[in-house]
Amino acid sequence: MHDFAAENRRLQDITRRHFFQDCRVGVGAMALGSLMADQRPAIAETQPLGFSPGSRGLHHEPKAKAVIFLFMAGGPSQLELFDEKLKLRELHGQVIPESYVKGKRFAFIKADAKLLGSVRKFARHGESGAEISELLPHLAGVADDLCFVKSMATDVFNHGPAKLFVNTGSPQFMGRPSMGAWVTYGLGSESRNLPGFVVLQSGPRGPRGGAPLWASGFLPTNFQGVPFRSGKEPILNLENPAGIDVNRQRDFVSTVNDLNALRRETTADPEIATRIASYEMAYRMQLSAPELTDLSGETKETLDLYGAEPGKHSFANNCLLARRLVERGVRFVQLYHTDWDHHGNAGTDLSKSLDDRCRETDRGCAALVADLKRRGLLDQTIVVWGGEFGRTPQGEDRETLLGRDHHIDAYTMWMTGGGFKTGQTIGATDEIGYYTVEDRVHVHDLQATLLHLLGIDHLKLTYKFQGRNFRLTDVHGNVVSKLLA
């Protein structure tokens, strides 16, 4: 006689995962396939680390095919660099009128903080008459190749959430995909030997927020940014151990991939496809990455243009490396340079510290624009410069050194290349630089515009997760037509 009680206990011991693993056909496979299709709808199209020359995300003719984002982490002061305010100098030392700050929140200063006029000298440059301070002499030399936006605005005034907002469209640490991940998910990469999304860092430390700034969030993990370093070993743990040659490494990768493929057949887990792609990409990068990061083959004229020194860890080297990456088909390159948070502490003031940050980055930024242009790459490469927010017209006096607090209502960014109308400045702020009075451009608007120039409609590039269609711009954002050529 059949022991139904024992059979029932046995069935109860079978977990849901084991059930799906065992049911390779029939209802189990159908249920799992439906689940995976809902959560990972594009996985079948995933190529190694985003490689997809077919560009499934194009919604219209693109103006650009790559992005280099020069991220000045900490919030550069627009009032010392791009937006001279004579009235602010006139009112220096006076308490800001209450009408400006009523109902406002600040990171550190109080509502009755005194106004701080800049001591920096400004001049108009190029035929466009772009307003640039003495701190950026090299950038002044390419002024007509740039488009300045003096009316940027964001929603978040603390560093970590504000950086996330620019990069992911959300200020919350909840696993949203970064901009580079969205772009490579939509367009793929044109390089088989390098990731589609690369992150470069300089400065004394990494940016607040860390890896979530370039993570893939709920997108497949092969779209996340891959951090590169300067020097002999650009990617940690990429080199073979002693005694392992190329042939043995190839055998190892093939064996592991075969085992992963068997596992994928059993579970239909889409992340296994990413794992296979990662092993393959790592193998190819063992040959391509060292050649990429070896700047010794560049001409002396090019090295001098950037101020780059082969083997050195610097922002200048990273700018030159960014050019080499887009030449090789990388879709999105993000350079982080830290310590732009000038509150007025020792080492974070608006005098020596700001001078140092500008000296470290000015030459490389200008050289990147000039170098891309002379090589015929600027027309197809977007370059963006900016931070997570700007600085207040009020001063912040710490340790007798002058600084400014975080400011979200009006600050400056610049961009060029790939469909931007250069040689212009859009947006304007009031007489003390507190509010935008013309052509406000929100962070979501900038994101929508970047995607538009890459051939992507920001309303249509979506990914279904937890029952909802997500996008980079969330439920906001408009393409800024004045920025377009």
pLDDT, mean of residues 29-34: 33
Residue 162 lies in a domain: yes
State residue 232's pLDDT score.
59
Whether the Cβ atoms of residue 213 and residue 222 lie closer than 8 Å to each other: no
In whole numbers, what is the pLDDT of the chain averaged over residues?
85
Mean pLDDT of 360-377: 98
Question: What DSSP element (H or E) covers 153?
Answer: strand 147-153
Most confident of 26-30, 43-47, 245-249, 319-323: 319-323
Which bin fits 384, alpha (ψ -120 to 50), beta or left (φ > 0)?
beta
- The pLDDT value given to residue 33: 34
Q: For residue 230, what pLDDT is reported?
A: 57
Residue 4 has pLDDT above 70, yes or no: no
- pLDDT tier for residue 267 given thresholds of 50, 70 and 90: confident
Say how many domains are in the chain: 1
Q: Is the pLDDT of residue 48 over 60?
A: no
Type of residue found at 179: M
pLDDT at 57: 60
Helix, strand counts (H, E) of the chain: 15, 17
Lowest mean pLDDT among 42-51, 68-77, 336-345, 448-457: 42-51
Task: Judge whether residue 9 has pLDDT over 60.
Answer: no
What ranges make up the beta strands (E) of 162-304?
A: 197-202, 226-228
pLDDT on residue 243? 60
Any domain includes 194: yes
Q: Is 70 exceeded by the pLDDT of residue 206?
A: yes
**pLDDT at residue 383, rounded to an integer:** 98
The pLDDT, as a whole number, for residue 37 is: 36
Percent of the chain with pLDDT over 70: 78
CA distance to 165, 166, 170, 173, 332, per residue, from 472 (Å):
10, 10, 8, 15, 15
Q: Which two tokens stand for residue 67?
A: 């992005």
Instruction: Compute the distance between CA of residue 483 and CA of residue 467 in angstroms, rounded to an integer.
Output: 35
Domain membership of residue 204 (yes or no) is yes
Whole-number pLDDT of residue 175: 86
- Where residue 123 falls (left for φ over 0; alpha for ψ -120 to 50; beta otherwise) is beta
- Say whether pLDDT at 470 is over 60: yes
The pLDDT value recorded for residue 285 is: 63
Confidence of residue 266 (pLDDT cuts 50, 70, 90): confident
Decide if pLDDT at 58 tops 90.
no
Range 51-71 average pLDDT:
79
Segment 104-150, tens digit of pLDDT: 889 999 888 999 999 999 999 999 999 999 999 999 999 999 999 99
Whole-number pLDDT of residue 21:
46
Whether residue 2 lies inside any domain: the answer is no
Q: How far apart are CA 412 and CA 419, in angstroms?
A: 19
A 10 A CB-CB count for 202 gives 20
pTM of structure? 0.83
Residue 240 carries which side chain, given as an amino acid letter?
N
Instruction: Dig out the tokens for 92 from the structure.
Output: 């220096």
Which range has the worst mean pLDDT, 98-102, 273-277, 328-332?
273-277
Q: Minimal CA–CA distance to 39: which of 471, 464, 482, 474?
A: 464
Q: Which residue range(s) make up the domain with 229? A: 40-483
Residue 171, pLDDT > 70, answer: yes
At residue 27, the pLDDT reads 36
Confidence of residue 45 (pLDDT cuts 50, 70, 90): very low
- Exposure class string for 114-149: b at 16+ Cβ within 10 A, else e: bbbbbebebeebeebebbbbebbbbbbbbbebbbbb
Q: For residue 263, what are the contacts with CB-CB under 8 A and spacing of at least 6?
A: 269, 272
- Residue 270 lies inside a defined structural domain of this protein: yes
| Choice among 56-65, 94-103, 106-115, 303-312 with the minimum mean pLDDT | 56-65
Q: Is residue 23 part of a domain?
A: no
Residue 282 lies in a domain: yes
- Which range is least confidently modeled, 98-107, 159-168, 229-238, 414-423? 229-238
Query: What share of the chain has pLDDT > 90, as a percent?
Result: 65
Task: Inform me whether the pLDDT recorded for 478 exceeds 90.
Answer: yes
- How much is the pLDDT for 292? 86
Q: Is residue 229 part of a domain?
A: yes
Tell me, what CATH number does 309's domain have? Answer: 3.40.720
**Residue 56 pLDDT > 70, yes or no?**
no
Task: With a cut of 70, say whether residue 24 has pLDDT above it.
Answer: no
Neighbours of 263 (CB within 10 A): 15
